[in-house]
Amino acid sequence: MGGGAIVAATETVITQPAAGEFFAFSSICTHQGCPVSQVTAEHIICPCHSSHYDTRTGEPVSGPANQALAPRTVTVTETEVEYS
């Protein structure tokens, strides 16, 4: 398990680090404003300067970014994913 989706239209990244666990963050890197491009089991990755963020907290774990991705609210039901 692990991974996520980037919703470019709303500048949001939704992660699912484990079954039943969902988190949402801004998809804009806090280093220089590039959109993130990849979500792995453990990291949200920005392609511009290789900043990596934790999929549970949005906190930077490597790279030049030193601020967390802004959190968003996410609600998941059996049929829908809602975020803001």
The pLDDT averaged over each successive group of 10 residues in the chain (84 residues) is 90 94 97 97 96 98 97 90 85
pLDDT of residue 80: 86
- 28 vs 58: CA distance, rounded Å: 11
The model carries a pTM of 0.93
- Count the neighbouring beta carbons within 10 Å of the beta carbon of residue 82: 10
Q: What backbone torsions phi and psi does residue 12 show, to the nearest 5 degrees?
A: -130, 145
DSSP SS3 for 78: coil
- 29 vs 34: CA distance, rounded Å: 5
- Cα angle 43, 15, 77 (rounded to 5 degrees) comes to 165
Residue 48 · residue 29 · CB < 8 Å: yes
CATH 3.30.9.10 assigned to domain 4-83? The reply is no
